[in-house]
Amino acid sequence: MINNANLKFDENGVPYSSDFDDIYFSKKDGIAETTYVFLKHNGIPSRFKNTGCFHIAETGFGTGLNLLVTWQQLNQANQSNPSPVKLKFTTFEKYPLSKSDLTSTLSAWPEFKSLSVQLLNAYPEKLLDDNTMILENGNVELRLIIGDVNESITNLVVSNNEVDAWYLDGFAPSKNPDMWTEHLFNNMRRLTKEQGTIATFTAAGHVRRGLITSGFDVVKYKGFGYKRDMVASRGILDRFESDSGK
């Protein structure tokens, strides 16, 4: 059985999870946070060139904001790519938003209107355990896997285990300790290319150490906004000249 998220909205329309007592994204600026933490610290959009297909995987689809920001950057990059780069976006979600909550949440982002409309058209009223949505005329393939990521990821195979970049999202480890396990990190590493990268908003010591033990070479970076630190792959800001996020 699929359990939908129990959402509340604050006075600014920012969604808040009653299940986890945590927010889905920064009250200050959700788009800037996503761009800084997940895109910039995975070398995106610079990596959206000279490749046929780019595969991103994410823990916690939530409102889909990370997807929308990434998809918009892909479309911009493809305007100057000789042939379009395709995006595969595999994401895990234990408590998916109902279609009506997703519709309300996405209405807060007029800048993504044309993408949100496509996403909502493809988003099933009744989700299956494993949902594939073809978007952007086939240039974006969204795979939304419902259930606890620690279970769903265990035997998962994704096209030759070739994830290029991970968005390690999910509510804060202090609010959601069950998600941030070595089992998860080991399976993420198993699904990732040798040169694949990872970024997460948290700098919790056990997360950073767990990622290192599983084989990800990660270090601390300055966090977004008031957060002191975050964690991402070593050298990522030098490897890719990234113009996303300050």
Q: Which residues bind ligand SAM (CB under 6 A)?
A: 5, 24-25, 60, 62-66, 92-95, 148-150, 169-171, 176, 179
| CB 101 within 8 Å of CB 7 | yes
Residue with CB nearest ligand SAM?
60
Least distance CB 228 / ligand SAM (angstroms): 19
- Of 59 and 233, CB closest to ligand SAM: 59
- Of 39 and 149, CB closest to ligand SAM: 149
- Of 136 and 169, CB closest to ligand SAM: 169
Q: Enumerate the β-bridge partners of residue 200.
A: 168, 231
- Of 45 and 96, CB closest to ligand SAM: 96
Distance of CA 238 to the CA centre of its chain: 22
Through-space distance between the first and last CA atoms of the chain, rounded to whole angstroms:
42
Q: At a CB cut-off of 8 Å and minimum separation 6, what does 137 contact?
A: none
- 217: tokens are 């070479």
Least distance CB 43 / ligand SAM (angstroms): 19
Least distance CB 123 / ligand SAM (angstroms): 14
C-alpha 218/C-alpha 221 separation (Å) is: 9
Least distance CB 190 / ligand SAM (angstroms): 17
DSSP symbols for 125-155: SS--SEEEEEEGGGTEEEEEEES-HHHHTTT
C-alpha 116/C-alpha 110 separation (Å) is: 9
- Of 51 and 154, CB closest to ligand SAM: 154
Least distance CB 19 / ligand SAM (angstroms): 7
